[in-house]
Structure 1
Amino acid sequence: MTNHLHVDSLTTSNTKIDGLLVLRAKMVTDDRGTVRELYRRSSYSAFLPGSASQWSQINLTRTKRGAVRGLHGEAMAKLVTVAYGSAFGAYVDTRPGSETIGAVVTVKLTPGVQVFVPQGVCNGFQALDDGTEYLYFFDNEWVSGMPGQALCPLDSALGIDWPIQIDPDNREQISEKDSKAPSLQQLLVKLQ
Structure 2
Amino acid sequence: MSMQITDMRSSDTGIEGLLILTLKQVSDERGTVREFFRASAHDAALSGLGDWRQINVTESGYGAVRGLHGEATTKLVGCIAGKAFGAYLDARPGSASYGKLVTVELSPGTQVLVPAGVCNGFQSVSREGSQYLYCFTEEWRPGMPGSAYSPLDEGLGLSWPIPVDPGNPAQISAKDAAAPKFSEQKLSEQIVGS
Question: What TM-score does the superposition give when structure 2 sets the normalisation length?
Answer: 0.93
1:37 aligns with 2:35: yes
SS in 1 for 2:112: strand
Aligned-residue identity in percent: 52
Contact 2:148 2:179 in 1 (8 A): yes
Separation (CA, whole Å) in 1 of partners of 2:38 and 2:185: 36
Q: Which residue of 2 aligns with 1:138?
A: 136
SS in 2 for 1:42: helix
**For 1:181, which of 179, 182, 188 is the aligned residue?**
179
1:76 aligns with 2:76: no
Separation (CA, whole Å) in 2 of partners of 1:95 and 1:180: 21
- Structural mapping, 1:20-31, within 5 Å: 20-31=18-29
Q: Which residue of 1 aligns with 2:120?
A: 123
Deviations 1:49-108 (A, max 9, x none): 411x41110000110000100000001100000000000000000001101110000000
**For 1:113, which of 99, 106, 110 is the aligned residue?**
110
CA RMSD of aligned residues (A): 1.5
1:15 aligns with 2:13: yes
| Counterpart amino acid of residue 107 in structure 2 | T
Separation (CA, whole Å) in 1 of partners of 2:80 and 2:22: 13
1:86 aligns with 2:98: no
| Counterpart amino acid of residue 78 in structure 1 | K
Contact 2:156 2:183 in 1 (8 A): no
Aligned residues: 189
Separation (CA, whole Å) in 1 of partners of 2:161 and 2:178: 21
Separation (CA, whole Å) in 1 of partners of 2:55 and 2:164: 28
SS in 1 for 2:183: helix
Separation (CA, whole Å) in 2 of partners of 1:40 and 1:19: 19
Contact 2:151 2:176 in 1 (8 A): yes
How much does 1:185 deviate?
Answer: 3.1
| Runs of 4+ with deviation above 4 angstroms | none
SS in 2 for 1:50: coil
**For 1:95, which of 79, 92, 96 is the aligned residue?**
92
Deviations 1:133-181 (A, max 9, x none): 0000101000011000001000011111100000011111000110011
Separation (CA, whole Å) in 2 of partners of 1:125 and 1:131: 12
Q: Which residue of 1 aligns with 2:148?
A: 150
Separation (CA, whole Å) in 1 of partners of 2:78 and 2:62: 16
**Which residues of structure 1 form unaligned runs of 5+?**
none
SS in 2 for 1:173: coil
